[in-house]
Amino acid sequence: MSNYIDSFYQILAQGMPMSQVLSEAEFRHKPNPAKWSKQEILGHLIDSAYNNYQRFLRAATQDNLIFQGYDQDAWVRQNDYQNRDYMEIIGTWINVNNHLSFLVRGLPEAVLTRQTTQHNFHQICMNTIPEGAPTSLSYLVWDYLFHMEHHLSQILPDYRRLLGEFKTTT
């Protein structure tokens, strides 16, 4: 579990200087109308954090790992991330992930590692697991961090170099 907490802090530490690395214009630039801007990508990561927060919280009291999904494109539009203050978006992303890291830190090892075949990780994870295959909450936490790092590398092209290679062990 300490690897997860270390990963949260490393990822957040690299994301914090975003406003120093990118101008507001670069943050808001849309490569084309159908693609998200860097600001919208970070907004998507805020939505992902909120969704995963409730998943991680509920996992402690559920017998399964079946969680509701969400329409990421609709949420980005509905939250109007493109037209909001870019410093607010960066600050919200940092704050919600700090909050999420405290939740993960407090999860008992038994909750994180409890194996189940009752999950919908084939639908909600970036790195899907076949339906009915054994998995754990630990995998979902890892997938959340992987997802966050994936999108941060779209926002900050040097992100991987800054952070180093992300550990893929669960």
Report the distance separating Cα 125 and Cα 75, nearest Å: 17
The pLDDT, as a whole number, for residue 110 is: 95
* Residue ranges covered by each domain of the chain: 2-163
The pLDDT, as a whole number, for residue 163 is: 52
Contact by Cβ (8 Å): 72, 47:
yes
- Second-level CATH architecture of 2-163: Up-down Bundle (1.20)
pLDDT average per 10 residues of sequence, the chain (170 residues): 74 74 91 95 97 96 96 98 95 93 93 97 97 97 93 79 46
The pLDDT, as a whole number, for residue 86 is: 92
Model pTM score: 0.90
Q: Scan for tokens 């062990």, then name that residue.
A: 169
Q: Which SS3 state, helix, strand or coil, does residue 54 take?
A: helix
**Helices (H), strands (E): how many in the chain?**
10, 0
Contact by Cβ (8 Å): 43, 79:
yes
CB burial of residue 56 (10 Å; 0-12, 13-18, 19+): buried
The pLDDT, as a whole number, for residue 162 is: 52
The pLDDT, as a whole number, for residue 109 is: 93
Q: What is the DSSP letter of 166?
A: P
